[in-house]
Chains A and B, each alone.
Chain A
Amino acid sequence: MVDLDPVQRPKFTPWVEKYRPSKVEEVSHQLEVVAALRKSIQTGQVPHLMFYGPPGTGKTSTILALSKELFGGEFFKQRVIELNASDERGIAVVREKVKKFAQRKIAKHPDSNFNCPSIQIVILDEADSMTIDAQAALRRIIEQYSSNTRFCIICNYISKIIDPLASRCVKFRFSPIARDAQIDRLKFICEKENVKVESDDVFQSLVDISAGDLRRSINTLQTASTFKQNNITKRDIESISGIVPHEFIIKVEQIISNTDGFSDVQFLTQELLWEGFDVQQVIYQILDHLMSNPKLSDLKKARLSEIIAETDVKLIQGGDEEINLLYTLSSVSRIIKVKNKHGSHQ
């Protein structure tokens, strides 16, 4: 690891880092985790932990904050090792690194008054990308060193972690950050950074585009603020957010509800791709828009979500965007055009 002398560090830090919670209590929204870890800090008792949940919800922040509180500000680096996806994590390497770390004599805290638990922590961040073999080997490693070493396994998808490993940990789910919690945090940052927004609508749209990812909303806010410090508007946010302009969604709706051949939908698909829109975003927004249409029956709405869920999976697994978008739009078109048998269900 390359570590630079702190005096040489440039002044600029991105807000996501600047406002990374440094205490467990500062972690927003994840009440259950915070309550459990509060106890750990008081008693010095820490189980093996497993944090899982979507990006930007506080997983990495929470374990770093916990480490700092347990072991104290700078000293925590002596007691914690972090292995993430940027490190080589084959079986041999993990075993070697953990062994070296766990077998050392535990460093004494320089301040004898500091109540420092005599354990150390191995953080395995971004563990979804570890191979099954490496995970299986970890199982033994955890047992071997559990007298003084605690493991914290962090991932986005719990399904990617083998059960024997998951079952050794106390599991905490990090949920997408709720609207109010996000707005509180964003307002707090605006105050500290002396950034003014035109109205509270701005926060609403930041939250809308973030889909529960606080990192994303903070980043978007910071970028918007480099363009202007004062009077940031909803439009400013939308122009850098990657959402598809409403006019386009309306246009898509019009075309797919009125067409009677394939070629219109084919042309529309091509145009959406040429415009470069994020295909997933396009289909989420269309679904959203259609779901709020009172003229569509519940049955049709159910079938629409089914089609869109199916496409979502295909896209995430690397499916071709053109073929999948064309399929989705033409299927959606067919569903919404079918005449309801008993009049529309309202």
Chain B
Amino acid sequence: MHSEQRLWVEKYRPLCIEDAQQIHRETYKMLGKLAQSDDFPHILFYGPSGAGKRTLTKCLLQELYKTNSVHKIKSEHKEFKASATSSTIVECVVFSSNFHIEVTPSDADNQDRVIVQKLIKEVAGSQQLDTKAQKSFKVVVIHELDNLTREAQAALRRTMETYMPYCRIIANCESLSKVIQPLRSRCLQVRVPAPSGQEITRVLDQISRTEGFDLPSQLAFSISNYSRRNLRRAIMMLQTAKLKNEKLSDKTYIPAPEYETYTRDIAKMVVQEQSPKQLRQIRTKLYELLTKGITSDMIFQILAREFLKKSQSNDKNSAALPEIIKPEVLKFAVMFEHRCKEGSKAIFHLEAFLARVMAIFKGYQIRAMGQKQY
């Protein structure tokens, strides 16, 4: 049963361009051509989560160096002094092959600048280790560029110019607007859209065939729907469903991720009762989400989606708010989300937002009642 346990998202991740033809075919073709030439630029992949950015990076490395050993990765724990005068130690994990290194500097939170200044600059400035390599440069892969502080991003600027003869950066991000302009100006920006529902079902079909089980088309369709066009999520859902059920049918239950249902419950609570007591209970729930590592961004997104979605008259349980107050609720979502970024404690701003939604909704109900009596 060993193979069952291996995550399908890794097992079925294509590692070379020829195997990756199910999605983003044009992009792979373009990158294949680019990799042939010596005019290879710094690259920034941008697009939603689970769209295939990491996979593109891996296939591109393979295409650049024409060897499987780009996938032979070793990991190493590194430590750096935060500055010449301080005793703070900044840690990070570096993944590397003979041809490239991979880092997620944002793992070091506010000290990410140190990783860029020490590690990346040093690697970028040294020669390709393997002198027989296809390319004279090595690659530094930077994950989640949009999560780097501005200082860390700025620290990349001259490094990308000065060491270009020996080094190329391949970075990825979800929100391009969080990447500073000077960096965007230095890269070829490659958009990676989320695969369509059809493409997702095709990948799922392929996996089920290789694993040797039946995937009813209706179920494939609902998984692709629930996945919100996130291919990683869709593959995970399929594997979970298969683990829990011997045989898959159209009716196999596909659970949504727990944090999502949990956040939706919070939205419902706001609509069900508007009182200080209810707000206290909500606070406990918010705390729980935050301590589980769910970001305030995600929570705001789900809450806003729930409040603003179309109300279904037959769904008594819905958190959808009346059309007329939606603009105001959205205005406050934007305002409190912004404050959340500026401030330090996410919980305050999330709670303040929900308190405001309660007040707006209550006001609406009172007005509506008044009109009825009149």
Contacts and interface: CB of A to CB of B under 8 A. Distances in A.
A74 interface: no
Interface of B: 30, 33-34, 37-39, 41, 46-48, 51, 83-85, 116-117, 121-122, 125-127, 136-137, 150-151, 154-159, 161-162, 164-166, 175-178, 181-182, 184-186, 188-194, 228-229, 297, 300-301, 304-305, 308-310, 323, 326-327, 330-331, 333-334, 337-338, 341-342
B323 A88 contact: no
Contacts of B121: 86
B157 A326 contact: no
Given A2-B125, A276-B193, A277-B191, A223 B117 contact: no
A319 B46 CA distance: 17
B158 A85 contact: yes
Contacts of A11: 38
B233 to A, nearest CB: 13
A262 B191 contact: no
B116 A86 contact: yes
Contact of B177 (A10, A84, A129, A316): A316
A13 interface: yes
Given A1-B125, A156-B182, A323-B333, A223 B188 contact: yes
A222 interface: yes
A85 B157 contact: yes
A227 B30 CA distance: 8
A275 B308 contact: no
Contacts of B34: 223, 226-227
A320 B297 contact: yes
Contacts of A213: 181, 185
A68 interface: no
A242 interface: yes
20 contacts: A4-B166, A11-B38, A13-B164, A17-B164, A84-B158, A85-B155, A85-B158, A88-B117, A90-B84, A90-B85, A126-B154, A216-B184, A222-B41, A225-B39, A242-B189, A242-B191, A275-B191, A276-B48, A276-B51, A321-B177
B158 A86 contact: yes
A13 B165 contact: yes
A14 B41 contact: yes
Contacts of B164: 13-14, 17
A263 B85 CA distance: 55
A327 B333 contact: yes
A110 interface: no
A66 B215 CA distance: 68
Given A319-B334, A319-B341, A129 B154 contact: yes
Which of A54, A227, A278: most chain B Cβ within 10 A?
A278
Contacts of A129: 150-151, 154-155
Contacts of A262: 308, 310, 323, 326
Interface of A: 1-2, 4, 8-14, 16-17, 54-56, 60, 82, 84-88, 90, 92-93, 125-126, 128-129, 156, 213, 215-216, 219-220, 222-223, 225-227, 240, 242, 261-263, 266, 273-281, 314-324, 326-327, 330-331, 334
A97 B33 CA distance: 45
A110 B39 CA distance: 37
A12 B165 contact: yes
Given A2-B126, A87-B117, A322-B301, A126 B158 contact: yes
Contact of A215 (B48, B159, B185): B185
Contacts of A266: 305, 308-309
Nearest first, the 8 closest Cβ-Cβ pairs linking A and B are A276-B47, A2-B125, A263-B310, A85-B154, A129-B154, A10-B136, A55-B182, A84-B158
A319 B146 CA distance: 12
Nearest to B116: A86
A275 B177 CA distance: 15
A274 B333 contact: no
Contact of A319 (B151, B158, B338): B338
A223 B41 contact: yes
Contacts of B177: 278-280, 315-316, 321
A318 B337 CA distance: 10
A125 B159 CA distance: 12
A73 to B, nearest CB: 18
B39 A10 contact: no
A277 B326 CA distance: 25
Nearest to B160: A86
Nearest to A96: B84
B229 A274 contact: yes
Contact of B327 (A125, A219, A334): A334
B301 A278 contact: no
A86 B117 contact: yes
B47 A226 contact: no
Contact of B161 (A17, A156, A227, A240): A17
Nearest to B114: A88
Contact of B157 (A16, A86, A93, A314): A86
Contacts of B326: 262
B179 to A, nearest CB: 10
A87 B155 CA distance: 7
B175 A279 contact: yes
Contact of A92 (B84, B116, B188, B330): B84
A92 B84 CA distance: 8
A212 to B, nearest CB: 10
A210 B193 CA distance: 22
Contact of B301 (A10, A92, A318, A323): A323
A81 B310 CA distance: 61
A279 B41 contact: no
